[in-house]
Amino acid sequence: MIDFEFEPQVVERLKMYHMVAENIMRPISREYDEREHEEPEQFFQTMWQAQSLADVAPGGDLKKEQGGSVKPSGPKLRNLLTCTTTEELCWGDAGLFLSTPNSGLGGAAVMAAGTPEQKTRFLKRFSEGEPKWGAMAITEAACGSDSAAIQTTAVRDGDHWVLNGTKIFCTGGQRAVEKSDGFVVVWATVDKSAGRAGIKSFVVERGTPGMKVARVENKLGIRASDTAMIIFDNCRVPADHLLGSAEVRKEGGFKDAMATFDATRPIVAAMAIGVGRAALDFVRDFLREQNVPIRYGISPRRLTAIERDFMDMEVQLKAARLLTWRAAWMLDTGKRNNLEASMAKAKAGLVVTQITQKAVEILGPIGYSRKLLVEKWMRDAKINDIFEGTQQINMLIVARRVLGYGNKELN
């Protein structure tokens, strides 16, 4: 049995992040949605300080209780705690959350595919000093969901790799390229004839000649976060910036790089849950103000349409949260979570779009208006069904794992 009851110190930490979400993020949520490409510098500094305080807050260790239950407290359940923190902050604002100074998807890629020495070298400096940004560059115009079709190349030239290609929809890409000590993890092929096995990841640090931002997208949602197109034109990186081994082998390479998503998909699912919870909480408060009760424990036949809708929203959100926590917990305890990470991502992405749309519907015209943040949450929600693998791709992964098929049998 897995017990997700939190230790007191973890509860206090989550309360702190909820206060940040409510008192710092919510008040500027609309402002930076409308001012998409402006920098919330004060927010950056505040969040960096908040993260520093959280990092030194008292923690604990993974504790085994009688009967085998597990108490999530301390750094050994880092991924689970990251998911719970992510939910709180995205309850505040998902776009601002993605703008929070950290190593981001780039850091997740280093943790998944890098050697122990590379993890220390590339990530150690992100625990101290000034705010830092990391990003991952994987998507290309000719290969959206099919990451194995990457055309960006990496050619060995002495003590360097030379990267050439264009990446699109890089979350946090502009800040990672332009801010001090930022870095981008780029996926490229070192051997096109090897197919998937030839895909490798490279760390390209800020200021590297040949890397530049070509444009920043105007988006439907998460507008406080920048989304960039990055061009790599004869971009030379040291040979030891290739994450993991340079050897092209069938059982490695692309599989090592894809392990990044086992860690990041639960986090994206937690983002979705935070946005969905924001909408659900708002609807609950709205109905209470209108003296519309939600009557639990009575026959379903006696429920009103609004009560049924609201209860379904609650149930779906809780189901997505438990899937997410399970995927994160499995990663923390050394269990393979490829199936569970995709299940959590697929479920949460679908649920958050349904919940936010239903919230707008229940509130009526005022929900559709810009007077409230509900319409913004509906716009922010959709990205969770797209990035880090679309709904369709994650459902395909789930089907393959459940049925025991490979990509040749089921695609």
Show which residues are catalytic. Answer: 388
Helix (H, G, I), strand (E, B) or coil at 284: helix
Strands 70-71 and 63-64: antiparallel
Strands 183-189 and 134-137: parallel
Q: Which long-range contacts (CB under 8 A, 24 or more apart) does 138-147 make?
A: 138/167, 138/187, 139/167, 139/168, 139/169, 139/170, 140/165, 140/166, 140/167, 140/168, 141/166, 141/168, 144/390, 145/389, 145/390, 145/392, 145/393, 147/187, 147/199, 147/254, 147/258
151 neighbors 190 (Cβ within 8 angstroms): no
- Determine the straight-line distance between the first and last CA of the chain, rounded to whole angstroms: 35
299 neighbors 113 (Cβ within 8 angstroms): no
Q: Exposed, middle or buried by CB within 10 Å (0-12, 13-18, 19+), for 153?
A: middle
- Please provide residue 313's backbone torsions phi and psi, each rounded to the nearest 5 degrees: -60, -45
394: closest CA among 253, 269, 251, 271?
A: 269
Helix (H, G, I), strand (E, B) or coil at 186: strand
361 vs 363: CA distance, rounded Å: 6
Q: Which amino acid is at 341?
A: A
Cα dist from 320 to 242, 325, 342, whole Å: 35, 9, 11
Tokens 């990451």 correspond to what residue?
Answer: 147
List the beta bridge partners of residue 48.
none
